[in-house]
Amino acid sequence: MATAAFADRGADLELVGIQKRFPGFTAIEDLDLTIPAGSFFALLGPSGCGKTTTLRLVAGLEEPTRGRILIGGMDVTAQKPYQRPVNTVFQSYALFPHMTVLENVAFGLRRRKIDDAVGKAHEALRLVELDHLAARKPLQLSGGQQQRVALARAIVNRPALLLLDEPLGALDLKLRRQMQLELKGIQEEVGLTFLHVTHDQEEAMTMADTVAVMNKGRIEQMGPPEELYEAPRTAFVANFLGQSNLLTGNVAGTTNQAISVDVAGHRVVVPRDRARRLAGTVTIGVRPEKLSLHRETPASDPARNVLGPGRVSDVSFSGMSTQYLVTTPGIGTLVVFAQNKTFGPMAQAGDEVWVSWSIAHGFGLDDDPAERPGRAPDDDTRNVAVHKRPALVPERGEA
């Protein structure tokens, strides 16, 4: 299928029963995933979870052990990378240092003998607001500008699918946040399908329409960023996507609206529609910014949970907010984020405090996933060496 067919809308991506095994470990296990055309999709997870391997499979840089890859309904599993309507933006930019910005962007078009390659390159550079620097060399640009050139070079071909491999990882914090907004704006303007791989939670939530959190070669949870953050299903998602206070206890009662959990002698209520399990021992949670800190016992309120008394064990100022660690007997340490609306902390280390939160802000988790076979990280050098050796032997002339 010609890439031009996707020029205005991108294409959907479908992974069907994908498995990827390397000698000694499995990187991807039974992955089924559908990404709608024109969407901004993020694969989020820690190092070794399989996200980069997934991207390499889609790009054609790795072959699946089992399963099929479809782009725009066409099976591309057996196609070479250059045959696929896919472009990739890498963290390293991979620009040609001896070429100008314009020549870098036009390079692929010229190789494919596309008409008006220079005109199309200028159009792509205008989209990323760099056309005024078209005559410069990459080394004369800042990191953020080089990243934009790499993006222009990728989108100038109007691929069905644009793969972003940790594209902002080399930028400083302020520039990274600026580029997050710009990337999202560009994606909406060009209408292509973006698949973004990252370990940065803020980056994924800022840009993506849909986020899939990966762990050990599987997708733990997938959905809109707000849904994943406000209603995580597993302890892994709750702790990887931001921070969470997780509490364990036995269900002491249920109603049509809520469940009541006994946590070290304290009654904690969670909305029934936000609880995954309704009986037995359960894990419930609440985000640190949902908690309120009190210097005295809060007044009784049926709409709020209260834990305490506890002791402040640490106070950390971080600009917009202050983090308090509150150690409560029988429960452990709770994390509280309080916005800095006034000068100075609300409490000091050693102070006796209580915490409370709205019942509506609590959530219940599924059982922890069953122990799965361990996997080595994608970038484990020993496994890469084992995997690559068969390909290197003929080159070296070894028996």
Residues 12 and 58 in one domain: yes
Do residues 332 and 266 lie in contact, with contact meaning Cβ atoms separated by under 8 Å? no
Domain that holds residue 78: 3-229
Pairwise CA distance, residues 242 & 283, whole Å:
17
Computed over every residue of the chain, the mean pLDDT equals 85
Can you tell me the mean pLDDT for 19-48? 91
Do residues 58 and 161 lie in contact, with contact meaning Cβ atoms separated by under 8 Å? yes
Burial (CB count within 10 angstroms: exposed 0-12, middle 13-18, buried 19+), residue 177: middle
Can you tell me the mean pLDDT for 139-156? 86
Residues 151 and 216 in one domain: yes
Residues 52 and 84 in one domain: yes
Give the C-alpha distances (Å, rounded to integers) separating 327 from 68, 260, 350, 352, 361.
50, 22, 10, 10, 21
Residues 183 and 150 in one domain: yes
Q: What is the pLDDT of residue 1?
A: 34
In a domain, 391, yes or no: no
Residues 205 and 259 in one domain: no
DSSP output for 133-187: GTTS-GGGS-HHHHHHHHHHHHHTT--SEEEEESTTTTS-HHHHHHHHHHHHHHH
In a domain, 298, yes or no: yes
Residues 190 and 301 in one domain: no
Q: What is the pLDDT of residue 154?
A: 85
Residue-wise over 321-332: b if at least 16 C-beta within 10 A, else e?
bbbbbbebeebe
Residues 150 and 250 in one domain: no
Residues 220 and 260 in one domain: no
Boundary (domain end) residue, out of 229, 261, 287: 229
Element (H, E) at 223: strand 218-223
* Single-letter amino acid code for the residue at 25: F
pLDDT at 4 over 60: no
Pairwise CA distance, residues 4 & 116, whole Å:
15
Residues 261 and 133 in one domain: no
In a domain, 374, yes or no: no
In a domain, 396, yes or no: no
Q: What is the pLDDT of residues 88-101, one digit of tens each?
A: 887 777 788 999 99
Helix, strand or coil for residue 340? Answer: coil
Q: How confident is the model at residue 398 (pLDDT cuts 50, 70, 90)?
A: very low
Provide the edge-to-edge strand list for the sheet that holds 74-75.
Answer: 25-35, 13-22, 66-71, 74-75
CATH number, position 204: 3.40.50.300
Q: What is the pLDDT of residues 309-348, one digit of tens each?
A: 999 999 999 888 899 999 999 999 999 999 887 777 888 9
Can you tell me the mean pLDDT for 44-65? 92
Higher pLDDT residue, 376 or 123? 123
Q: How confident is the model at residue 9 (pLDDT cuts 50, 70, 90)?
A: low
Q: At what angle do helices 143-155 and 117-127 cross, to 10 degrees?
A: 130
Residues 189 and 320 in one domain: no
Pairwise CA distance, residues 399 & 391, whole Å:
12
Q: What is the pLDDT of residue 42?
A: 94
pLDDT at 214 over 90: yes
Residues 66 and 185 in one domain: yes
What is the token pair recorded at 181?
């907004």
In a domain, 384, yes or no: no
Q: What percent of the chain has pLDDT over 90?
A: 56
Helices (H), the chain: 51-59, 101-111, 117-127, 143-155, 173-190, 201-207, 225-230, 235-240, 381-396
**Domains held by the chain: number:** 2
In a domain, 383, yes or no: no
pTM for the complete prediction? 0.80
Residues 197 and 251 in one domain: no
pLDDT at 384 over 80: no
Q: What is the pLDDT of residue 79?
A: 94
Q: What percent of the chain has pLDDT over 70?
A: 88
Q: What is the pLDDT of residue 367?
A: 64
Give the C-alpha distances (Å, rounded to integers) separating 209 from 110, 187, 195, 289.
34, 11, 11, 23
Boundary (domain end) residue, out of 229, 257, 282: 229
When mean pLDDT is compared across 89-93, 218-222, 235-239, 270-274, the lowest value belongs to: 89-93
Q: How confident is the model at residue 170 (pLDDT cuts 50, 70, 90)?
A: low
In a domain, 236, yes or no: no
Boundary (domain end) residue, out of 175, 205, 229: 229
In a domain, 382, yes or no: no
Q: What is the pLDDT of residues 287-317, one digit of tens each?
A: 999 999 999 999 999 999 999 899 999 999 9
What is the token pair recorded at 345?
């902390």
CATH number, position 254: 2.40.50.140
Helix, strand or coil for residue 206? Answer: helix
Pairwise CA distance, residues 221 & 236, whole Å:
10
Long-range contacts of 343-346 (CB under 8 A, 24+ apart): 345/315, 345/317, 346/293, 346/295, 346/322
Q: What is the pLDDT of residue 144?
A: 80
* Single-letter amino acid code for the residue at 39: S
Q: What is the pLDDT of residues 101-142, one digit of tens each?
A: 999 999 988 888 888 889 999 988 988 888 999 999 999 998
